[in-house]
Amino acid sequence: MASHTGTGSCLCGTVKYQVDNSAESVLHCHCWMCRKQHGAAFATWAFYPIGRFRLLAGTEALQTYISSEKVGRTFCRECGSSLFFAPPEFPKRLTAVWVAAGTLDGEPGRKPDSHIFVSCKAAWYAITDDLPQSAE
Ligand SMILES: [Zn+2]
Ligand SMILES: [Zn+2]
């Protein structure tokens, strides 16, 4: 696979990050928490293992909402952009991280793999692609 370095940022530009190589997985998540958090029909998350993700700027603007026991959803306090989905200790300790793919400045280097949590899908949204779907 070709090496690929990409950057990402929030809407206001305070938070900047870098990812190395292609995402290892890209998922469209239709769960109700992702829908609420993103204010959208679904969230697209790109997975980067530990060591492939680095914060470049704006760490002080990051705020994390602990949405369940082992998961934090990190956003920019200045502009509200949804950014990361990771264990609650992130970003104090860097971990593997799911990046909100819409905040990448480029592309994740990989096509979306599948739709997940389609059992909670918004009734007003119809999936029209041929990607695999899982209920959870
Ligand atoms: Zn921001
Ligand atoms: Zn979700």
In this predicted model, what pLDDT tens digit does every residue of 60-93 receive, in sequence order? 999 999 999 899 999 999 999 999 999 999 999 8
Domain hosting 51: range is 5-120
Q: Is 10 a domain residue?
A: yes
SS3 assignment, position 77: coil
Distance, CA 119 to ligand 2 centroid (Å)? 11
Number of domains in the chain: 1
Question: Residue 2 pLDDT more than 80?
Answer: no
Residue 123 tokens, joined: 């009734």
Q: Is residue 131 part of a domain?
A: no
Q: Whole-model pTM? A: 0.94
Question: How many Cβ atoms are within 10 Å of 68's Cβ, its own excluded?
Answer: 9
Amino acid in the structure at residue 73: R
Q: Mean pLDDT of all residues in the chain?
A: 95
Rounded distance from Cα 97 to ligand 2 centre (Å) = 14
Report the separation in Å between the CA atom of 136 and the middle of ligand 1, taken as the mean of its atom positions: 30
- Nearest 10 degrees: Cα torsion 60, 62, 68, 69: -20
Residue 78, domain CATH: 2.170.150.70
Whole-number Å distance, alpha carbon 54 to ligand 1 midpoint, is 17
Distance from Cα 51 to the centre of ligand 2, integer Å: 23
Residue 48 has pLDDT above 80, yes or no: yes
DSSP assigned state of 36: H
Pairwise CA distance, residues 135 & 121, whole Å? 9
